[in-house]
Amino acid sequence: MKSIDRRGFIKKSTVVSAGMAIGAPAYIKGFVQNKPSEIINVAVAGINSRGGYYGGSGHTANFTRIKNSRVVAVCDPDENLFPKAIEDIEKLGGTKPKTVIDFRELLDNKDIDAVSVASPDYWHALHTIWACQAGKDVYVEKPLSFNIVEGRKMVQAARKYNRVVQVGTQHRSNIISQKAIELLHEGVIGDIYMGRGTVYGHRPSIGRVQNSTVPEGVNWDLYRGPAPMIPFNKNHFHYNWHWYWDTATGEFGNNGVHYMDRIRMGMKKNVHPSKISCCGGYYAFDSDQEVPNLQVATFEYDDGTIMEMEVRSLFTPNEEGIVFFGSEGYLQLGSNSFAVFLGPKKEPGPTLSSQDLEVNEYRKAGIEPHFVNFLDCVRSRRWQDLVAEVNEGYMSTSMMLMGNIAYRTGRKLTFDGKTEKFINDDEANTYLTRQEYRKPFLLPEEV
């Protein structure tokens, strides 16, 4: 297979965002002198996983490494996480951040310019809306929201308060994905009639765990937030909250949204699907888990095009990725490569892999350009230049939430994209929002 000329591609595919030229070292600490007026102070909420160091790719790591930004506060209802978070930030050259257990304490702090939200799914909406209302910009992890109504209110809050809100669908900033989508838009495989994403990643059984006393240093009330209060249980705590319907969106929201987001981009879909179906179940294990570990969903559009998504958290071959099907061939897209095959004989077309790319200063410094793009837009005040602007995150997340609703109702659903409600299905519409938010963690009627 003939690969795209690396030198020509790099020149053509430089990320389009102010200050994000490949190879430019201006954003990396130590290259140029910081000016106090240029420094963006960031508070990170939720530091157990992606929000913390996370093997060097987490929120605190990126905002510490990037020149002209610094982590001035970390927030988590588990105080036991603070020592390591502080140590990680200081090891990367940052200063000791303030520690806060209640997110609301950050809102009146005028020294904080932006908040980075890596709290559990069910906290995303309140943290983002509160921050927008307080005049702070937001980087919020995927999935954007816990339910569809929350996502719409997050978009409304960003617009009303003119905030820069980036969603953590960072594959949009991946040069491989960008070039593949560019080729699709140029018609490399003709007219695209279907896109399919597959997420295969083994998840072990969480078993069955009895309730216990709340660990010292954990504010269980703040941890549960808007979700129903229950006795403390380790299976509802760090990371395992992903596997319960009252706190999570399952693997569809957790990882499926990354794939659906790029499929939407490749197929230029900026409207909701009209018909949604989903099947699956929980297989192989006996545990407390509520969400399925196998789901297969189909999303149909009024123009006849189709998107499919499968997540399988069981023993399986490593086959995950995205395939776009067109009238002239197909394109396979992974995290680190893509390849095009054309005609009935599957003749090889353009390919590109991460090995073809020059090692730029971001990669050398362990910086994800998605975070850089966010900070660029915070400075410019142009949310339109965000790679993953909040409405884009809303559209992709909503699809995964619709898939979950189709699974939970057990039938094919019809969705009205204008009213953003299911047609003639009262039961399905009950899943559009949480039926009851626990006081005082209430979703505002108007943002």
Q: Is the pLDDT of residue 431 over 60?
A: yes
Beta-carbon contacts of 104 under 8 Å, excluding residues fewer than 6 positions away, are 130
Kindly state the percentage of the chain with pLDDT values over 70: 92
- Report d(CA 231, CA 422) in Å as an integer: 34
Q: Please, which pLDDT band fits residue 319 given cuts at 50, 70 and 90?
A: confident
If we measure between CA atoms, which residue out of 349, 393, 439, 351 comes closest to residue 260? 393
Q: Please, which pLDDT band fits residue 224 given cuts at 50, 70 and 90?
A: very high
Q: What is the pLDDT of residues 19-45, one digit of tens each?
A: 333 333 344 444 334 444 589 999 999
pLDDT value at residue 11:
41
Q: What is the mean pLDDT of residues 214-232?
A: 98
pLDDT value at residue 244:
98
Q: Is the pLDDT of residue 186 over 90?
A: yes
Q: What is the pLDDT of residues 61-84, one digit of tens each?
A: 999 999 899 999 999 999 999 999
Q: Please, which pLDDT band fits residue 267 given cuts at 50, 70 and 90?
A: very high
pLDDT value at residue 350:
97
Contact 385, 378 (CB under 8 A): no
pTM beyond 0.95: no
pLDDT value at residue 282:
97
Q: What is the mean pLDDT of residues 425-437?
A: 97
- Report d(CA 420, CA 435) in Å as an integer: 17
CATH topology classification for 15-171: Rossmann fold (3.40.50)
Beta-carbon contacts of 83 under 8 Å, excluding residues fewer than 6 positions away, are none
Q: What is the mean pLDDT of residues 380-388?
A: 97
Report domain extents, the chain: 15-171, 175-357+389-432
Q: What is the mean pLDDT of residues 138-154?
A: 98
pLDDT value at residue 18:
33
Contact 63, 71 (CB under 8 A): yes
10-19, 93-102, 285-294, 373-382: which has the minimum mean pLDDT?
10-19
Buried b (16+ CB within 10 A) or exposed e, 204-230: eebeeeeeeeeeeebebebbbbbbeee
pLDDT value at residue 17:
35
Torsion sign, CA atoms 75, 216, 50, 244? negative
What does the H/E/C string look like for the chain? CCECCHHHHHHHCCCCCCCCCCCCCCCECCCCCCCHHHCEEEEEECCCCCCCCHHHCCHHHHHHHECCEEEEEEECCEHHHHHHHHHHHHHCCCCCCEEECCCHHHHCCCCCCEEEECCCHHHHHHHHHHHHHCCCEEEECCCCCCCHHHHHHHHHHHHHCCCCEEECCHHHHCHHHHHHHHHHHCCCCCCEEEEEEEEECCCCCCCCCCCCCCCCCECHHHHHCCCCCCCCCHHHCCCHHHHCCCCCCHHHHHHHHHHHHHHHHHCCCCCCCCEEEEEEECCCCCCCCCCCCEEEEEEECCCCCEEEEEEECCCCCCCCEEEEEECCEEEEECCCEEEEEECCCCEEEEEEEHHHCCCCHHHHHCCCHHHHHHHHHHHHCCHHHCCCEHHHHHHHHHHHHHHHHHHHHCCCEEEECCCCEECCCHHHHHHHCCCCCCCCCCCCCCC
- Report d(CA 200, CA 198) in Å as an integer: 6
- Tokens 């995205």 — which residue? 322
pLDDT value at residue 7:
38
Q: What is the pLDDT of residues 109-131, one digit of tens each?
A: 999 999 999 999 999 999 999 99
Mean pLDDT taken over the chain? 92
Q: Please, which pLDDT band fits residue 4 given cuts at 50, 70 and 90?
A: very low
Q: Please, which pLDDT band fits residue 316 given cuts at 50, 70 and 90?
A: confident
Q: Please, which pLDDT band fits residue 9 given cuts at 50, 70 and 90?
A: very low
- In CATH terms, the superfamily for domain 175-357+389-432 is Dihydrodipicolinate Reductase; domain 2 (3.30.360.10)
Q: Please, which pLDDT band fits residue 362 given cuts at 50, 70 and 90?
A: confident
